[in-house]
Amino acid sequence: MRKQLKKAREEYTKIALEIHDKRTKAARKFEREVEANLKAVALEKARFEARVDAPEANDFPDENILKSFTAKGFDRVEFYFSANVGESPKPLVKVASGGEASRLMLILKTTAKSNDAEKSVVFDEIDVGIGGRVAEAVGLKLKELAKTQQVLCVTHQPQIASLADQHFLVEKEVAGKKTKVSVRELSESEKVEEIARMLTGKQITETARRHAREMLDVRG
């Protein structure tokens, strides 16, 4: 049994190392694609790294290495990110702000082209700190992602909202001593009014309505 265990361990290690080499090569390609796509969402200076760590060769005789053995190999993969020039990449969970993290996650999802048809993804105010052309680029990325899975997005940007397939309005009202929040789906005419309101504010003009219709028509 010891001989069988040793043989199985050697075979596993050989295959795991081959997988590690493939992952490392794929990670470099993935890094380049992610950084290129980040430029479109106002993260031109961002740096992204996919670090793939494996046990050292001299660790293999150690029985404790068995703890790192899984059905997918023994690699430990972690994403590192830096949004600003002069800052070295750090673990993603420690450095990205809310808006940056949302945009990075959007790019990771669309770049990886993962098929998560049974899952939903929520982006809460992904438009923080952006507008105009960048907001439209983010909207197009969201629409691309929505082809493979359900996407829910909370936004204040008309460029993003106009690209959605369905629109829901979140309203807050005070009734007596209680605050109530309601959500309702908008009709086609209500979509125009809401996009126009997002464009101009409280006073909606016919020019804003016309612009809103054009944005919705382009959405198709």
Domain range spanning residue 107?
A: 2-165
CB atoms within 10 A of CB 101: 17
Res 182: pLDDT: 92
Residue 191 included in any domain: no
Q: Is the pTM of this model over 0.85?
A: no
Q: Where are the alpha helices (DSSP H) in the chain?
A: 2-38, 92-95, 98-112, 132-145, 158-161, 188-200, 206-219
47 domain-assigned: yes
Which residues in 177-198 are b (16+ Cβ under 10 Å) and which e? eeeeeeeeeeeeeebbbbbbbb
Q: What is the CATH number of the domain that holds 97?
A: 3.40.50.300
| Residue 79 · residue 105 · CB < 8 Å | no
* Residue 113 DSSP label: T
Q: Is residue 215 part of a domain?
A: no
Max CA pair span of the chain: 82
Phi, psi of 121 (to 5 degrees): -125, 140
Residue 9 lies in a domain: yes
CA distance 59 to 88: 29
Residue 182 inside a domain? The answer is: no
Determine whether 69 is exposed, middle or buried from the number of CB atoms within 10 Å of its CB (0-12, 13-18, 19+): middle
- The pLDDT value given to residue 88: 87
User: Per-residue pLDDT for the chain (220 aa), expressed as one digit of tens each?
Assistant: 989 988 988 898 899 999 999 999 999 999 999 999 998 888 888 899 999 988 876 666 566 667 788 899 889 999 999 888 888 888 887 776 667 778 888 898 888 877 666 788 888 878 877 778 888 888 888 998 888 889 999 888 899 999 999 999 988 988 888 999 999 999 999 999 999 999 988 788 899 999 999 999 876 5
Q: Which residue has the tokens 């359900």?
A: 150
Asked if the structure places residue 218 within a domain, the reply is: no
How many separate domains does the chain show? 1
Kindly report the backbone phi and psi dihedral angles of residue 150, in degrees, each rounded to the nearest multiple of 5, phi listed first. Answer: -75, 135
Could you tell me if residue 75 is inside a domain? yes
Q: What per-residue confidence (pLDDT) applies to 28?
A: 95
Helices (H), 39-125: 92-95, 98-112
43 inside domain = yes
